[in-house]
Structure 1
Amino acid sequence: MFSNDVALEGEPEREFHPGIARRMAHKTVASGALIRDPDGRILFVVPNYKPHLDLPGGIVETGEAPSTGCRREVREEVGLDLPIDRLLVVDWTPGRGPWSDQVQFVFDGGVIPADTPLRPQESELTDVRWAHLMEADLRPSLRRRIELALRAVETDRTLHAEFGHLLNGA
C-alpha cells in the first residue's frame, strides 16, 4: 500500500534552485509508547546514555513512519511487539546541547500485565522500570508530555503541544 502511494506521486520534483533543499532546516523525529499496567504504572526504560528515565521508543529512521519507528524501537528496546496505532500527543521540543530540535510522537502502547517478560536492550539500556508518573525521575518536559498523553487516553483526543505545553488551551 505505502509503496503504491509513493509510486502514484510520480517522479520526485527537481530543485528549481540547486542546493536549496540541503540548506533547509532538518528536524529529528522521535516516537515513544505510553505502556501501562493494570495498576496505572507506566513502563519506563533506563538509558545508559542519559541521566533520566524515558518512554520506550527512539529516533525514527529516514523514510520510516513515526508509528512504524515506535513499534520497531519498542521491539528492539524491551522485546515487546505491540500494535502501535493510536496517536496521543505530538510535541515539539527545542534543540539543546548537541541535540537538534525534535518532533516527538507519543503513541498508546496499551495496558499489559506488569509481569510480562521484558528484554532490555543491553547496548542502550541498563534496566526497565514500572512506576507511577509522580515517582519517576524525568525531565520536566517529558513529565508534561506524559501528563498530556494520559489526558489524551482519558479524553480520547490527540493533543498538540510545544515543549510539553498544550497549545490553544484545548
Structure 2
Amino acid sequence: MGVSGVGKTTVAKRLAQRLAWPYAEGDDFHPEENVEKMANGTPLTDDDRWPWLRLINEWLSAQAGDGWNTIVACSALRRAYRDVLREADGRVHFAYLSGQQELVDERIGLRDAHFMPPSLLSSQYEALEPLEPDEDGIEVDAARAPDEIAGDVIEGLQLSR
C-alpha cells in the first residue's frame, strides 16, 4: 500500500515471484470511469473507491477460497479502505511503502504510460493515513532498492511459500 509512484507494483511483483503467489494489480480493478477521472486529473472520491475496493476484496476472497496466499498492489490510502480489504476471507497483511513526496514525484516523472498524472500526487498524500499500531502490517522505506524492500516485507510479515 502507499501513494502512486512509491513502488507498490515493482515490489509486489518481486514478492509474488519470490513467494510463488498469485499477484493482482489493484489498478486493474478500477472501472473505466475511475481511470478516466484520474487521467483527467480529477481525484477519486470515496464513492468512486468503494466498488473498486469491493472488487479487490472479492478477488482476495476467491483466491483464499482456492487455498492461495496472494499479493495485491493497492493504494489503500485510508484506514476505511483497508478495512474493506480486511473483510476478505483469509488474513490480510499490509506492507506500507512510505516515501518522501519529492522522491515519489521524481519517480512518477520517469514513468511511461500510466493513467495517474503527477498532478494527483498531492491529493494522495493529503488522503494518506499511515498504518496504525493495531493494523496488521509493517512500514518500509520506499527509498530502498525493490529487492531489499521485498526482503524486508517477507521478513517483517514472516511470509513463506
What TM-score results when the alignment is normalised by the length of structure 2? 0.28
Bigger CA radius of gyration: 1
- Structure of higher RCO (CA pairs closer than 8 Å, 6+ residues apart): 2
Query: As a proportion of its length, which structure holds more strand?
Result: 1
